[in-house]
Amino acid sequence: MIKVEKLVKNYGTHRALRGVSFEVGQGEIVGFLGPNGAGKTTTMKILTCYLPADSGTAMVAGYDVAQSPVEIRRRIGYLSEGAPLYVEMGTIDFLRFVGGMRGLKGEKLNKQIKTVVERCGLEKAAGKLIGELSKGYRQRVGLAQALIHEPDILILDEPTTGLDPNQIQEIRSLIKEIGKEKTVILSTHILTEVTATCDRAIIINEGKVVAQGTPQELMERGSGKMNVIASVRGNHDLISESLRGIDGVSSVEIVSPAEDGVARYRLTSKEHLPLAERVFHVIADNGWALSELRQETVTLEDVFAELTK
């Protein structure tokens, strides 16, 4: 449904995209993952025919974004970051306006408004102005307008930004439900978004795709490494220095604020090594108080950090 090859985009002297290539198949929910400024939104804007690429090609639903932008717009639903809406309009009036812009009218328009209101859980918001709605309901309205013309492809840019945990869960569930019927690509920098919602992830950094695969496949990139978590009481600088000196340790970071002189440290191994035992001996030999020591496998967060640091 989506095929991108060697996309390049410059903003003056800044190169936002440096040869981005990827594919998204029919019926997939794919997370486009990267830190802020990685090039996610620029890619979304090219796919939705909002911006032209400087070079490279992008095919959406079989059409070239440079040659057939109108045909592509008919086949995609787009929710841009922040769900920009006409806050002075009523929810139903807004959906009627968007549906009309999409070429719907009469009974077909009424049917689609009813369908998206039910599907996006907007019954309680139907009689209200958009400006009166919570952020969660505004996101639902944004999804409803993206779905009203029954597109084959849904493109979502940071769909849960600014929502509280309950609202995030609601939007994720809605996206997963929509993904049973449509191709969905969502841009995000939130790692839990990918593991909770997506079939596959594409990681972009500094305008380049640095990895792609299922969440499990991405985590297996770090399968030869282990993390050790240790909570230790003592001088933080001295402890960090001693832990970094352990053979096989690639990095040490303090992962929680110190309380009563106790800090939690995360050590990452260079390879699959029994770090926990080595850490214990260093701490014991120095006479520091150890309140926690555990070993954990590398997470998607660890892989992401390694690929984008």
Confidence grade of residue 196 (pLDDT, cut at 50, 70, 90): confident
Same domain, 32 and 113: yes
Looking at residue 127, the DSSP 8-state letter turns out to be T
Q: How far is the C-alpha of 309 from the C-alpha of 304, rounded, in Å?
A: 8
Same domain, 132 and 99: yes
| Position 182 in a domain | yes
Same domain, 176 and 241: no
Residue 225 pLDDT? 64
Same domain, 210 and 230: no
Same domain, 200 and 285: no
CATH code for the domain of 264: 3.30.70.260
Instruction: Give the global pTM.
Output: 0.74
CATH code for the domain of 59: 3.40.50.300
Q: Which of 214, 236, 262 is the last residue of a domain?
A: 214
Same domain, 206 and 292: no
Counting residues of the chain whose pLDDT is more than 90, the rounded percentage is 61
Above 90 in pLDDT, residue 166?
A: no
- For the chain, how many structural domains are there in total? 2
- Of the listed ranges 70-84, 102-116, 175-189, 270-284, the least confidently predicted one is 270-284
| Position 260 in a domain | yes
Q: Which of 214, 240, 258 is the last residue of a domain?
A: 214
> 267: closest CA among 305, 309, 225?
225
The phi and psi torsions of 70 (rounded to 5 degrees) equal -65, -45
Same domain, 176 and 203: yes
The phi and psi torsions of 187 (rounded to 5 degrees) equal -90, 135
Residue 307 pLDDT? 81
Above 70 in pLDDT, residue 273?
A: no
> 171: closest CA among 191, 142, 200?
142
List pLDDT tens digits, range 20-64: 999 999 889 999 998 888 999 899 999 999 999 999 999 999 999
State the average pLDDT over residues 244-271.
Answer: 84
| Position 221 in a domain | no
Above 90 in pLDDT, residue 206?
A: yes
| Position 84 in a domain | yes
| Position 243 in a domain | yes
Same domain, 208 and 236: no
Q: To the nearest whole number, what is the mean pLDDT of the chain? A: 90
Same domain, 53 and 149: yes
State the average pLDDT over residues 224-251.
Answer: 88
List pLDDT tens digits, range 86-125: 999 999 999 999 999 999 999 999 999 999 999 898 999 9
| Beta strand segments in 222-279, E | 226-233, 249-259, 262-269
Residue whose entry in the numeric block shows the structure tokens 């390694």: 306
Q: Which of 214, 237, 267 is the last residue of a domain?
A: 214
| Position 219 in a domain | no
List pLDDT tens digits, range 288-298: 999 999 987 66
Residue 291 pLDDT? 92
Q: How far is the C-alpha of 287 from the C-alpha of 270, rounded, in Å?
A: 26
State the average pLDDT over residues 221-231.
Answer: 75
Which runs of consecutive H residues, i.e. helices, occur in the chain?
40-47, 69-75, 91-101, 106-119, 135-147, 165-178, 191-197, 215-220, 236-244, 275-285, 300-308
State the average pLDDT over residues 69-74.
Answer: 94
Residue 269 pLDDT? 80
Enumerate residues 6+ apart whose C-beta is below 8 A from 198. 29, 30, 31, 186, 215
Yes or no: say if 172 and 16 are a contact pair by the CB < 8 Å rule. Answer: no
Residues spanned by the domain of 287? 226-308
Enumerate residues 6+ apart whose C-beta is below 8 A from 132. none
Same domain, 192 and 232: no
Above 60 in pLDDT, residue 223?
A: no
Same domain, 191 and 59: yes
Residue 303 pLDDT? 81
By DSSP bridging, strand 226-233 and strand 249-259 are unpaired
First-to-last C-alpha distance (Å) of the chain: 31
| Position 220 in a domain | no
| Position 246 in a domain | yes
Yes or no: say if 42 and 111 are a contact pair by the CB < 8 Å rule. Answer: no
Same domain, 11 and 42: yes
State both tokens at 13: 């002297």
